[in-house]
Amino acid sequence: MNIGKRLLQQFWGDSYKVNNTKHLSKWASGAISVSLLASLLGACGNGNNNNESQASQASSPASSASASTATATDPTQLSATIKVWDWDEAFTKGMIPEFNKKYPNIKVEVTVVNPNDYLQKLQSGIASGSDVADVILGEEAYRGKLFDLDVLDNLEAAPYNFDRSSVLDYTVPYISNSKGQIVAVDQAITPAGFAYRRDLAKEYWGTDDPAELEKLIPTWDDFITKGTELKDKSGGKVLMFPGLGDAFLVLKGQNTTPYVNGTEVDVTTKLSKSIEMLFKMRDAGILGKNELWTPAWSSSMAKGEFMFYPMAPWGPKWHISANDPEGSGRWGLVKAPEVGFTRGGTAVGIYKDSKVKEAAWAFVNFAYQSEEGSLFNFKNFGNMTSNKAFYEKQKALFEAPGPFDEFFGGQNLSMYYLENVIPEMKGQAQSKYDSVVDAVSNSLYPLWTKDQSITVEAALEKFKSEMKNKASEATIK
Amino acid sequence: MNAEQVKTSSATTLKRRWGPQMWPYLFSLPFVLAYGAFQLYPVLYSFVLSLYEWNGISAKTFIGIQNYVHLWTEDPLFIKSIMNTLIMMAMFIPITLILGLLLAYWTFNLTRGKNMIQTINVLPYITTPVAIGFIFSYMFDWQTGLVNLLMMKFGWLQEGFYWLQDEWSSRAIIALMVIWRNLGYFMIIYMAGMTVIPQDIYEAARVDGSTGFHTFRRITMPLLRNISVFLVVTSVIGGLQLFDEPKLLYGGWSGSSQVGGPDNAALTIIWKFVDESFISNTRFGYASAIAYSLFILIVIFSMLSYRLTTSREDRR
C-alpha cells in the first residue's frame, strides 16, 4: 500500500493528493504493477524486434510479405518485401537503390549481421521460429556448414531456374551442397595469387615483372630455392612469407581433391602433401614467425620484411593498401607456384521456407549475376561476378585500369586474375568439415611455428586427433 | 448466527481475499512471470534438450542419457577443459585472496591517499573484458609484445618467448588477467569487513602487547573469516564459469581464432560449451549436457569450498 501511494505521488504529484481516496489508490497501484509487467515484457519483445529489423532500409506501406504471382517477366509487376542479412552496409546502401530502379515494388529490408555471429543468429532464428532472412550469406569460414544445414533452396529448380553453366566452371563446387545441388551464387569470385614487393624482387632477383617472376617460381621446389637465395642475399632480413599460416592456407587451398564422403573425412589425402611442403619451407628457413592478422603481421607489409602475401581480388583494398598506405607502386601480383587457389569468398543463397522466393531471387540475380548489377558491383566495390557472359560482353571494362592498378605499379589486376590465375583453377567441394579443418589448422600452425622440430607424421597425427575431438561423429582417415 | 451476519462475514472474507493480502502477490507477479519466462523455462528446457540430439534446425531425436555418457567417457576435450579450469582456478584464487587481503589491510591503515588507492585498484574491475583481452594479447605478443621487448632489452632473453603458445604460460597469463581484474573487488570487500571489526578489540590487543603482524594474524584474519568464505565460494563459482579472459586473449585479433589456446591448454568448460553449440559444432543437445554437467560440478565445488573454509563450529 505504502509503496503504491508513494509511487502515485511521484507520478501524479499534487493531483493525486486531491483525489486521495482509498479506492483510487488501490486501483491505481494495481494498474501500475500491471503496467510495469506489461512494459517489462514489452521491452523484451521490442528488444528482439529491434534486432531483427535493425538498420532496415526505408519503410513503405506496401509491406505485405507475399510475392505477387504475376509474371516475373515484367520487373515492375513483382511486389514484395524481402529480408536480407548482410554485414557490408556500404554494399547494401549502394546496391539496393540500383536494384529498385529496375524493381520498384520490391522492398529490401537489411539487417546488419556480423559474419562471426551470422550462423549462430540464423540457427537461433530458425530454432525459435522467429523471423529469418530470405537472402542468406555464407562466408568462407562457415559456407560448408551452412550448406549442410539444409536450409537453402535448390536454385536450379523453379522458380529460380539457375543454370550452372552460366558461371565460371571452377566456382561450381563452391556453390554446391553435398547432394550436388546448386544452393547459392557467389557474391564475387576470389581467385588468389601472391601480392609481392616489387622493390625487393628487383633488388634481390633482378626483376619485378610478373611474367618473369612466374618463371622463377613455377613449382614449390623452385619457390624454396629462390627463397633460400633471398634469405642468403638479404642476410636473413627478407623472407618469403610472413608466417606458416600464410603458406599453409595456400597449400591447403591448392589441393582441391574431394576428401569428404558422408561422415568419412580423409585428412591424409587433403593435407599430408601440404604439411610436407610446409615443413620443407619451414626447415629451409624461408618463413617468418608471424601469426595471421596480428599487428606484427600487418605492419610487416610496410616494413618490407617479406616478399609474398597470398591475395584475392579483395586483397588490394582490405589487405595491402590498408596496411601499407604509403606503398603505392611498390606492389605487384603474380600467380602462385603450380596452381591458383581461392581465398575468402561469400556465397549467397535463398532460405528454403521463404515466402517471397521470386522476389528474393530477383534481388540475388540482379545484384550478383545480371549485367547491370555486376557492372555496378565492379565499378563501385571492385567485386567480380562469377557470371561467364559478363566477361565476354564487358571485356573493355576489365581492360581499362582498375582502382588499384596504380597501387600495383600499373599492372592490370583484373586481367591478370582472369587470364593467368582463373583458367587452370579447380574448385573444392564444400562440407561442414571444411570449417573444422580450418579451425584445427588455425589452432595448430602456431604450435608448429613454436616447436620447429615436429615431424610431418606427428603433425598429421595431431591434426587427425584434433579433428576427431571436434567432429566426434566423423571417421577420420 | 442469522442469515444477515453470514452474508456480511462472507463479504468481508471476499473483501479480505482481494484486499491487502493480495498486494504482495500482485507486486511480485512481474518478477515471477519474468523469472518463469526467461529463467526457469530455459533452465528446464535445456535439461530436456540435453536428452536429445538436435542441431536447432532438423528434427529432435531422443537419445536418453547418451550425451552425458559420451561427454564423461569419450570426450577427452571435456575432461581436459575441466582440468584446465581447475588448474587456472588453483592459480588465481589463492593469489587474489592473499593479495586482496594484504592490499586491503595496507590501504585500510593509510592516512593519506586512501581514496585514490581504492579507485586505482577498482578500475580494472570495471574495465570491459574486451579491452582487457586486447591489453594482454598485445602485451604478451611474441613479436611486438611489450613483455618480450623489455626482457630482450634487459638481456634476459635472446629471442622473444612465445607466451601465448606455451601450455603453462598461457594458463598463467589467463590467471594473471583474472587476478588483475578481481584484485580491486577483493580489496573492497575485505575493507568493508575491516570496517565492521570494533576498534576496542584492537585496543585490548594493544594493551596485551600485541603489535603489527601478530595483531593482523590473530585478530584481523580470524574476524574476516566470513568474508573469506564468501569470496572463496563466489570465486569458485565464478572460476568454474571462466570464459571471457581465455576467449578474449585468443580471439582479440580480427581474424585469428584459436579455439582453446595452444593445444587446448586454455580451453575452459564454458568455452567448450560455446564451441560445441555455436563454433565448431551445432550440437545443442550435447552442449546442454555440458551445461548441466557444469551445474553439478559447481554445486559440488561450492559445497566443498564452503566446508573447507568455514570453521568446524560454524558448520554445525
Q: Over range B253-277, report the average pLDDT.
A: 82
pLDDT of amino acid B110:
87
Residue A357 lies in a domain: yes
Longest dimension (CA), chain B: 104
pLDDT of amino acid B133:
85
CB-side exposure of A404: number of CA atoms within 13 Å? 29
Check if A342 contacts B (Cβ < 8 Å).
no
| Dihedral pair phi/psi, residue A152, rounded to 5° | -100, 145
Residue A405 lies in a domain: no
Burial A410-439 (b: 16+ CB within 10 A, else e): ebbbbbbbbebbbeebebbbbbbbbbbbbb
Same domain (yes/no): A291, A356: no
Residue A422 lies in a domain: no
The count of domains in chain A is: 3
From CA B267, how far away is CA B264, in angstroms rounded? Answer: 5
A299–B144: do the CB atoms touch at under 8 Å? yes
> Within chain A, which residues score under 70 in pLDDT?
1-73
Q: Chain A contacts of B281, Cβ < 8 Å?
A: 470-471
B253–A472: do the CB atoms touch at under 8 Å? no
Give the chain A residue whose CA is nearest to the CA of B139. A295
Same domain (yes/no): A257, A354: no
Same domain (yes/no): A356, A449: no
Name the residue facing A292 among B143, B255, B263 (closest C-beta): B255
Cell numbers found for residue B300:
559440488
Sheet holding A264-265, edge to edge: A260-261, A264-265, A475-476
Which residues touch A365 (CB under 8 Å, ≥6 apart)? A160, A162, A185, A373
Name the residue facing B76 among A1, A127, A469 (closest C-beta): A469
Cβ burial of B214 (10 Å; 0-12, 13-18, 19+) is: exposed
ipTM of the complex: 0.81
B77–A41: do the CB atoms touch at under 8 Å? no
B256–A293: do the CB atoms touch at under 8 Å? yes
Q: Chain B contacts of A126, Cβ < 8 Å?
A: 56-57
User: Looking at per-residue confidence, does A117 or B270 come out higher?
Assistant: B270
* CB contacts < 8 A (A, B): 106
CATH number of the domain within which A435 lies: 3.40.190.10
Name the residue facing A37 among B33, B144, B164 (closest C-beta): B33
A469–B77: do the CB atoms touch at under 8 Å? yes
Check if A15 contacts B (Cβ < 8 Å).
no
Q: Which residue has the cell 577427452?
A: B76
Which residues touch B10 (CB under 8 Å, ≥6 apart)? none
Mean residue pLDDT of chain A comes to 84
Name the residue facing B56 among A29, A127, A292 (closest C-beta): A127
Q: Chain B contacts of A472, Cβ < 8 Å?
A: 70, 74-75
A469–B75: do the CB atoms touch at under 8 Å? yes
In this structure, are residues A404 and A413 in contact, taking their beta carbons and an 8 Å threshold?
A: yes
The interaxial angle of helices B225-240 and B167-196, nearest 10 deg, is: 150
A472–B75: do the CB atoms touch at under 8 Å? yes
Give the domain range for residue A133. Answer: 37-189+344-399
In this structure, are residues B89 and B81 in contact, taking their beta carbons and an 8 Å threshold?
A: no
Which of A74, A124, A294 shows the shortest CA–CA distance to B42? A124
| Dihedral pair phi/psi, residue A241, rounded to 5° | -120, 150
Same domain (yes/no): A46, A12: no
Residue A144 lies in a domain: yes
> Percent of chain B having pLDDT more than 70?
91
In this structure, are residues A333 and A416 in contact, taking their beta carbons and an 8 Å threshold?
A: yes
User: Looking at per-residue confidence, does A67 or B279 come out higher?
Assistant: B279
Same domain (yes/no): A72, A173: yes
Residue A411 lies in a domain: no
Same domain (yes/no): A453, A469: yes
How does DSSP classify residue B18?
Answer: T
Same domain (yes/no): A362, A376: yes
Same domain (yes/no): A268, A354: no
When scoring B29, B256, B264 by the number of chain A Cβ atoms within 10 A, the one with the most, hence best to mutate, is B256
pLDDT value at B179 more than 70: yes
Cell numbers found for residue A62:
506496401
pLDDT value at B315 more than 80: no
From CA A338, how far away is CA A317, in angstroms rounded? Answer: 26
Model confidence band, residue B159 (pLDDT cutoffs 50, 70, 90): confident
B253–A290: do the CB atoms touch at under 8 Å? no
Which residues touch B253 (CB under 8 Å, ≥6 apart)? A291, A293, A294, B137
Residue A339 lies in a domain: yes
CA distances from A459 to A455, A475, B80 (A): 6, 18, 20
A449–B165: do the CB atoms touch at under 8 Å? yes
Q: What pTM, to 2 d.p., does this model score?
A: 0.81
pLDDT of amino acid B147:
92
In this structure, are residues A284 and A228 in contact, taking their beta carbons and an 8 Å threshold?
A: yes
When scoring B48, B60, B170, B280 by the number of chain A Cβ atoms within 10 A, the one with the most, hence best to mutate, is B280
If one counts every other C-beta atom within 10 angstroms of the C-beta of residue A302, the result is 14
Q: Min CA distance, A288 vs chain B (Å)? A: 11
Residue A416 lies in a domain: no
Q: Chain A contacts of B165, Cβ < 8 Å?
A: 446-447, 449-450
Cell numbers found for residue B42:
530455459
Q: Min CA distance, B245 vs chain A (Å)? A: 17
User: Looking at B98-221, which runs of residues are DSSP E strands?
Assistant: none
In this structure, are residues B247 and B272 in contact, taking their beta carbons and an 8 Å threshold?
A: no
Which of A143, A135, A153, A122 shows the shortest CA–CA distance to A190? A143
B143–A443: do the CB atoms touch at under 8 Å? no
Residue A462 lies in a domain: yes
From CA A124, how far away is CA A226, in angstroms rounded? Answer: 51
Q: Over range B207-223, report the average pLDDT.
A: 87
Same domain (yes/no): A333, A348: no
- Residue B291: its H or E element: helix B284-309
CA dihedral B183, B186, B190, B192 (to 10 degrees): 110
Which of B184, B83, B235, B57 shows the shortest CA–CA distance to A129? B57
